[in-house]
Structure 1
Amino acid sequence: MTNSTSEMQDHLSPIWRRIRHVAVFLSAVAVLSRLSYLGIRAFHHDESLDAWFSLQYLDGSYKGYDPVYHGPLRFYLNAAFFWLFGQSDSVARLLPALSGIGVVLLPWFWRRNLGPIGTPMAMALLLVSPTMLYFSRFGREDSFFLFLTFLTVIVIFSLLATPKRWHPSVLLILLVLGLAVKESVFLTVFIFGSFGMVLLAQDFFIASFSQYRRKNIQPDYKEFKREILIEGVNRRTISVQSKVLQPISNKKIPEEAIRRIFLLSGILLMFAVFLWIGTNPGEQKDVPTLLKLGAYGMSLAIVIFVCAGFTARSRVQFSEIPTLRSLCVPRTTGWILGVVVAGFLFTALFTQFFQHFGGPGSITAPHGAIRNGLTSGFEYWLGEQATVRGDSRWQYYLVLLFAYEWLAIALAGVGIVSVIRKPNLFGQVIVWWACASLLIYSWAGERMPWLMIHILLPLIILAAIGAQSIWDRKRKGLTTFFLGIFIVLGLGYSTVTSIYSSYFRGGEPQELFVQAGQATPEVPEWAGHLEALDRLSLTHFGRHLEVRIDSDVYWPYGWYLRDFPTSSYAVISKDSFPSTADIIFVPHWDRIALEGEFRTYEEIPYEHRWWWVPEFDSGINGPRELGDLISSWGSWIWDREPWDSKSGKCPASLSGSVYIKKEIYELGKEYFKESFPSRGEKPSYGKACATVSNFLRGDQ
């Protein structure tokens, strides 16, 4: 019976038919959870920019790729969605939602490797993960990039395990698509490029060592002595000695041990290099970061050459090396075709489908479209490492993972042990992917909550391996019972947390997913007020309102007021206040006194964006304050109660003021009655951060 026939029979077995039904159910829930109520949360600063540039491409005013705003591909796709379905908050988030659905479905491609328990476990963990659900409904490029990364890893593993002639073309196309979405593709190339080098060295060593053992170890015999009774006339008993050949494989170092050594050594070497670089890669005074990473690459190359030398001396044909054989199966024509197709696609994507070969002319993209795509993204990303945007703490992702994804972390730990005990190619790929992603993203200077999904995905696949290994042991009794209870409770916790963090309090600052660019509910409320006030002004005064919004608070108003006829972006200061405008939005540092020519205005304070950056150790100074730490985290886990600390702050906001002409203000009060201006729904806290008065305001 051939392997394909046996695999087909396995997947037609009753258990796989049930697994297929479970997968269909999980897929349906993924569609429902990702697409429902996409517009309920106020837009984040970055979401509004993505939507705005998509509109620019739709109306023909998009100037081309600028690495500040990442790749252009999602602008093209969002523009297509706007053209098909109209412009709305939900449609602006449709691409990440569809990508999130795809991420839940993709583990099915690895069902033969994950097994009948690991496959639905991977899909279930991706489905109910609070992190995955939140950022599948978040209008940035990360969900789409994660989907492309997942496809890329699937193709890489397929190329190594069962190479086909079409693999190079698909792999290079996916890498170009990833580059056209986000510069993080350089990290993907680094992760799997370094893995390929370790794998090649490992295969060379296994081949040479196996050949050496076959040549130099003499057959090993074990003697047996028996007495045999010979029936006959005299009935004699004689002793017979015999030798039995022992298999040579029992005496050699097993291949699993070699795989284990190379996997762990490669990860430890990468860890050592990142310790050498430090947690702020942009500020390297002695040896630049690129040189240190180059030293890491040279170290791996030296190991490869040494192992290849052993292989050559052993007279093993290089064509027998699995990694080299996989790369050679597509042949030169396959790789050349892949490069040509990828180059054509790259040119199309970065020149707006051959319509605009010039660049935007910005400081960060000063060249033509093709050169910007090739070099500007990497140069900008490398320069940004010194700014340490986002959270500066190296343990940032670890804390968020344990806060939201402890079930996946626990099962991933089991998965790592399982792979190390019996390493195979699939396990090595996933362990390397998970460990390298955690190391690299924790090392990189920019640490943002949405980047956590790139660490979490391989951990969830590793968790699925762990779940399958637990099932394969089939332990009975209390162990199985408690493991089952733990997994059920973990899935329940993840489900409840996902629902609350995505549907009920997704825009509130006590959620650690919320970053400083998140708009408060007042922003969409004010956008609605402006639309209504403009209609009232046109009816009563025969003119549209003139609205000026300062650059520091312009986004996401730029998206919400996209159809507003007379709103404009402005750089406002106390010395250049636009006294002729009907409504003016400024941050708190540009507030003015209502005197002189400004006596005709009413000032209305409001919060524009909010956030919370807790101290993960709760500001403790010693073991005696450990109880405060446990209590603070316990309150947060149970009811999302934030805490204050010695150097931290309760949830804070970028506050500002709206200056509105008195006649417009009175018109609004008459029209809206008591609800003008509406402040939107805000959270209230019951402990250290008792009220929203803890939000930073300009008058405090």
Structure 2
Amino acid sequence: MTAHQPERSHTPSILDSPAVIYLRLNWEKIAWIALALVAFILRVYDVGARAMSHDESLHTTYSYNLYNGAGFRHDPLMHGPLLFHLTALSYFIFGPSDFSARFPVALLGTGVAAMMWWARPWLGKLGAFLAAVMLTLSPSLLFHSRYIRHDLYAIFFALAVILLIFLYIQKGEKKLLVAMAAMLGLLYTTKEVAFIYVIILIGYLVLALLWRLLAGNWEAKGYKWPFLGLLIFGGLFLVYPMYEAIHAPVGQPVISNSLGMPVWPMAALGGGLIAAAFWMMFKGFGSDKIHGWRELDVTVWVITLSGPLFAAFFIKMFGGNPSSIDFNNPLARDTLIAVGVFAAMWMIFTALGAWWASSQGDLSAYLGGLGLYYGLMLLFFTTFFTNGGGVATGLVGALGYWLSQQEVARGGQPWFYYFMLIPLYEFIPMLLSGLATIGILVRIFRRQPLDASIPDDAAAPQSVRDLWLLYLVWWIALTWGAYTWAGEKMPWLTTHFAVPMAILGGWWLAWKLKAIAWRAVWKQGGLWVLLGAPIWLMVFYGVLKQRPFQGKSLEALSQTMAALIGAIALIGLGWFLIRKMRGLSWGLSGRLALLSLLGLLSLFWVRTSFLLTYVHYNYPIEPLVYAHGAPDIKIVLNDMREISRRTVGENALAFVYDNETTWPFEWYFRDFPNKKYVGAGITRQALKDAPVVLVGVENEGKAKPFLGNKYYRIEYRQIWWPKETYKQLVDGAPQPDGTVLKGLPLLWSWIKDPQARKVFWDIVLYRKYQQPIADWSPADHFVMFIRKDIAAQVWDLTTLPALAEEGVISTDPFEDKYIDHPAVQIVGGLGQLAAPRNMTAAEDGRIYVADTGNHRIIAFSPDGQMLTAWGSFGDQPGQFNEPWDVAVGPDGSVYVADTWNHRIQKFSPEGDFITMWGGFVSTDGQLGQMGVFWGPRAIAFT
């Protein structure tokens, strides 16, 4: 007989519990989940349809190399490494494709909008939600959330840092500072705009602390104003040398043009004055009173963590090159200066941070944050510790390289570039944030609390809300200033304007909406004003477009009748609205009319976003579509896949392509193992019997003689750019009177000309240009040559030969007389040269070769033995960026066309640097600017 076993009590598993209990859903959370879902769908829908742009293809290809086991070496030329690692992870999960390449940025773009959930304490529930809506629908953010660039990465982590800082100021939890340190480290692995975000943040935190200090009660009042004086002069003495370092050449200590002395002693003095100011602060204000200030806590954390990464400024001051650190040659001058400066700054800032944290009793938190901060940066800069050089390029070289690029000013855009782009795309966030800024300034003048909205249950204290709003105003103002001042201006940088403007604009709109008693408005007929005002404006616009009383023709009478009917409708609708407004105050009526107008403009704003992202995304009729791959890219790719499938099998086609078609095709050719890259060295042997040949139009003349009449020729668009007519308004260099604006008469002529005004509004409203898209310029073109017998196997479309008839190449007159001459002498060997562009011989028999792909010049003896080599990648004297030509002058000096540094360099026969001249300018075909270049390709002596 079996003994009875007592039953065990059953504890329900978490899997048995309803999920809704844990979600604790309410209508607010449901709205946020729905918005996040909408944002995600808008960003991933058909995200792989658009052809990759030039820069995108670089990012996708190097990410693919990492995914495919070829590793990755951080290069400041392509910004931070985080994008490449996350894209490689996306390839691993989804497989390599245009969709998977853009999926991480789409996810981060969704996160930017969703993060406004944590801004509810300072924006209010409605304000945060409206800000998230604008971040979701923003044209620049939506478009670039479907675009594999670094900017959304930087925005995501910058926003995370900012939110964590204000959450800490509100709550005081040390774990928030540790999380902030981790996010700050990741921010620096995205893009060098991280330094702009951090400078803006530090500047505001310091000013907020200064305001609190000066408004406080000092224990020793005699220290108050000396403290302020030391701080101001110390800041000036520190910032001025940094400004001089931006524009100074490397290789020698930075000398102040105005003072005629090295600037590093001034920077050291500035640091000393700031240290003395802080000593006076502790002594005069009282260290016990300062301890516990959360604003000071977070300021110390951000400054001491970020400080060492600004070492590039001080390395340049001492005459070093922050881009030329070589751990293989640790005793080299540049390496010694860079390592010494960075190590000294790291020890100073880390000791300062640890001292402060220890005095606050949270040393362990600081050390934990420090470990996360440097650990995450080193992890990605070194590609999981497989690239030791990433320590130098990441912690020092990144800022150093991009400081040097500000003089290059890629894109050659005028100072008013963002004043043109932002109103064209982000007019709703710009308008709302502008109104918010005016409202905040008025309340400051009246000494009223800045956030006058009705606080909800999620609201932070008034002081924190005011601190947040002032930061948004500061953020917007300095963003306009910094990016306008910076030399490099590009359309994707508009995203950095959109974020703070959308956040502040969302707060302002919620403030105004919550201030209106909507039930009373409804009862008093105020909704008629809200709905009728935009209708009245649209009728008014329609009447203005008419030209009545112009004659008795049917068309003239029709316009007259339309104008009269419109005028009657205007009067009637206006009378109706005025009657409804009598029951309301004029102030309320004005607010309703303003909200009504904003609603109408918002519809146009959403239309702008929709057309840019889903209709015009492939076409440069949108100014944000810059250096993009044309739709022809994917047409050609699909044709090549079809040729391969029908002739030799899936992706087995053996075809030839040159250096002009590398990008973005290098990404798309990854699955063709039989592709053959010939660079600029197009020869008969390289093209022999190739089924398909792709060459840029610049190389077409080289290929034609070798192809004979065996091929059809079809020309396609490769990369294209938007129109830049606005550049006619400025000169490339300041005029003698000190102004860069030369086009005021031209601008006024455009304004007066009705036809010019029509062209302008056609572009603004419809993106309609006078030049048809089929003949668009500026654009780079390429040519696809298809062997006729291959075309006959693949296409039964009779249109192909007809379309290509004009492109049929005549018989090569030299084909029957071709003789293969073997080389008498070969200079260089396997792995020694990379895409050499040109060579020349000196009178003594020396042979100089432009080793373009290796960014150097090599000198060989007459019998082909390597004598010397000089140069490396960079923009400093003696460095090159793809030199295309080398020549020997009458005196034996060596001249190099440093093509993509846009200059000419002169050297001794042994490679010693002598001098250089030139710089980047886009002349748009206009003569008159001497001594400047756009990619010089060759040198000649006359």
2:710 paired residue among 588, 600, 604: 600
Q: Which residue of 2 aligns with 1:519?
A: 629
Query: What one-letter code is carried by the residue in structure 2 that aligns with 1:318?
Result: I
**Matched-pair contact (CA < 8 Å) for 2:413–2:727:** no
- CA separation in 2, counterparts of 1:663 and 1:40? 31
- CA separation in 1, counterparts of 2:630 and 2:746? 34
**1:456 is aligned to 2:498:** yes
- CA separation in 2, counterparts of 1:678 and 1:371? 55
Q: Structure 1 606/104 Cα, relative in aligned 2: closer, same or farther at 3 Å?
A: same
- The superposition leaves residues 60-87 of structure 1 with CA deviations (integer Å, 9 ceiling, x where unpaired) of 1023212222222222222222222222
Query: What one-letter code is carried by the residue in structure 1 that aligns with 2:760?
Result: W
Q: Which residue of 2 aligns with 1:501?
A: 612
- Give the superposition deviation at 1:472: 5.2
1:206 paired residue among 215, 218, 221: 215
2:410 paired residue among 385, 389, 397: 389
- Give the superposition deviation at 1:505: 1.1
Q: Which residue of 1 aligns with 2:296?
A: 324
**1:90 is aligned to 2:120:** no
- CA separation in 2, counterparts of 1:447 and 1:183? 14
2:375 paired residue among 330, 344, 359: 344
Consecutive unaligned residues in structure 2, runs of 5 or more: 1-24, 223-227, 301-356, 451-465, 517-584, 730-744, 805-942
- Give the superposition deviation at 1:304: 9.2
Q: Which residue of 2 aligns with 1:692?
A: none
SS in 2 for 1:556: helix
- Give the superposition deviation at 1:399: 1.2
Equivalence map 1:310-321=2 (5 Å): 312-313=283-284, 315=286, 317-319=289-291, 321=293
- Give the superposition deviation at 1:94: 0.4
Q: Which residue of 1 aligns with 2:39?
A: 30
- CA separation in 2, counterparts of 1:306 and 1:633? 55
**1:79 is aligned to 2:206:** no
- Give the superposition deviation at 1:468: 3.3
- CA separation in 2, counterparts of 1:483 and 1:336? 52
SS in 2 for 1:562: coil
Q: Which residue of 1 aligns with 2:598?
A: 487
Q: Structure 1 511/305 Cα, relative in aligned 2: closer, same or farther at 3 Å?
A: farther
Report the structure number with the largest CA radius of gyration.
2
- CA separation in 2, counterparts of 1:543 and 1:452? 39
**Matched-pair contact (CA < 8 Å) for 2:219–2:286:** no
Structure number with higher relative contact order (C-alpha < 8 Å, ≥ 6 residues apart): 1
Equivalence map 1:298-447=2 (5 Å): 309=280, 312-313=283-284, 315=286, 317-319=289-291, 321=293, 323-324=295-296, 331-354=362-385, 356-358=386-388, 368-420=389-441, 421=444, 422=449, 424-447=466-489
SS in 2 for 1:510: coil
- The superposition leaves residues 455-504 of structure 1 with CA deviations (integer Å, 9 ceiling, x where unpaired) of 21111112123223433544863212212212212321121111111111
- Give the superposition deviation at 1:572: 1.9
**Matched-pair contact (CA < 8 Å) for 2:712–2:801:** no
Q: Structure 1 57/489 Cα, relative in aligned 2: closer, same or farther at 3 Å?
A: same
Q: Which residue of 2 aligns with 1:9?
A: none
- CA separation in 1, counterparts of 2:172 and 2:384? 32
Q: Structure 1 311/621 Cα, relative in aligned 2: closer, same or farther at 3 Å?
A: same
SS in 1 for 2:174: coil
**Matched-pair contact (CA < 8 Å) for 1:282–1:386:** no
Q: Structure 1 306/380 Cα, relative in aligned 2: closer, same or farther at 3 Å?
A: closer
Q: Structure 1 390/297 Cα, relative in aligned 2: closer, same or farther at 3 Å?
A: farther
Q: Structure 1 678/59 Cα, relative in aligned 2: closer, same or farther at 3 Å?
A: farther
**1:534 is aligned to 2:534:** no
SS in 2 for 1:591: helix
- Give the superposition deviation at 1:595: 4.1
- CA separation in 1, counterparts of 2:268 and 2:431? 32
Q: Which residue of 1 aligns with 2:126?
A: 117
- Give the superposition deviation at 1:111: 0.8
**Matched-pair contact (CA < 8 Å) for 1:391–1:448:** no
Equivalence map 1:139-178=2 (5 Å): 139-178=148-187
Q: Structure 1 597/82 Cα, relative in aligned 2: closer, same or farther at 3 Å?
A: closer
**Matched-pair contact (CA < 8 Å) for 1:134–1:501:** yes
**1:46 is aligned to 2:171:** no
- CA separation in 1, counterparts of 2:413 and 2:685? 36
SS in 1 for 2:781: strand
SS in 2 for 1:511: coil
- CA separation in 2, counterparts of 1:543 and 1:160? 58
SS in 1 for 2:779: strand
- Give the superposition deviation at 1:135: 0.5
SS in 2 for 1:554: helix
**Matched-pair contact (CA < 8 Å) for 2:48–2:99:** yes
Q: Structure 1 408/301 Cα, relative in aligned 2: closer, same or farther at 3 Å?
A: farther
Q: Structure 1 17/398 Cα, relative in aligned 2: closer, same or farther at 3 Å?
A: farther
- Give the superposition deviation at 1:169: 2.2
- CA separation in 2, counterparts of 1:65 and 1:86? 23
SS in 2 for 1:612: coil
Moved more, 344-353 or 372-381: 344-353
Q: Structure 1 498/391 Cα, relative in aligned 2: closer, same or farther at 3 Å?
A: farther
Q: Which residue of 2 aligns with 1:635?
A: 762
Query: What one-letter code is carried by the residue in structure 1 that aligns with 2:759?
Result: S
Over the aligned positions, Cα root-mean-square deviation in angstroms equals 3.9
- Give the superposition deviation at 1:404: 0.8
Q: Which residue of 2 aligns with 1:229?
A: none
- CA separation in 1, counterparts of 2:122 and 2:433? 16
Q: Which residue of 2 aligns with 1:623?
A: 748
Q: Structure 1 211/167 Cα, relative in aligned 2: closer, same or farther at 3 Å?
A: farther
Q: Structure 1 114/675 Cα, relative in aligned 2: closer, same or farther at 3 Å?
A: farther
- CA separation in 1, counterparts of 2:361 and 2:119? 22
- CA separation in 2, counterparts of 1:208 and 1:393? 48
SS in 2 for 1:55: helix
Percent identical pairs in the alignment equals 23
Moved more, 576-585 or 504-513: 576-585
Q: Which residue of 1 aligns with 2:588?
A: 477
- The superposition leaves residues 190-244 of structure 1 with CA deviations (integer Å, 9 ceiling, x where unpaired) of 222222322232222121479979xxxxxxxxxxxxxxxxxxxxxxxxxxxxxxx
Question: How many aligned residue pairs are there?
Answer: 594
- Give the superposition deviation at 1:179: 2.2
- The superposition leaves residues 89-144 of structure 1 with CA deviations (integer Å, 9 ceiling, x where unpaired) of 11111011111111111111111211233112101111111111100111222222
Moved more, 526-535 or 23-32: 23-32
- CA separation in 2, counterparts of 1:415 and 1:295? 40
- CA separation in 1, counterparts of 2:392 and 2:795? 55
Q: Structure 1 73/597 Cα, relative in aligned 2: closer, same or farther at 3 Å?
A: closer
- Give the superposition deviation at 1:398: 2.1
Q: Which residue of 1 aligns with 2:721?
A: 611
Q: Which residue of 1 aligns with 2:75?
A: 66
1:589 paired residue among 694, 698, 702: 698
- CA separation in 2, counterparts of 1:206 and 1:308? 18
SS in 1 for 2:785: strand
- Give the superposition deviation at 1:313: 3.5
Moved more, 573-582 or 465-474: 573-582
- CA separation in 2, counterparts of 1:439 and 1:377? 22
Moved more, 183-192 or 100-109: 183-192
- CA separation in 1, counterparts of 2:751 and 2:641? 52
- Give the superposition deviation at 1:643: 5.5
> Normalization by structure 1: what TM-score?
0.76
- CA separation in 2, counterparts of 1:322 and 1:348? 30
Query: What one-letter code is carried by the residue in structure 2 that aligns with 1:372?
Result: T
- The superposition leaves residues 512-548 of structure 1 with CA deviations (integer Å, 9 ceiling, x where unpaired) of 11112x1111111111111111223316xx9943322
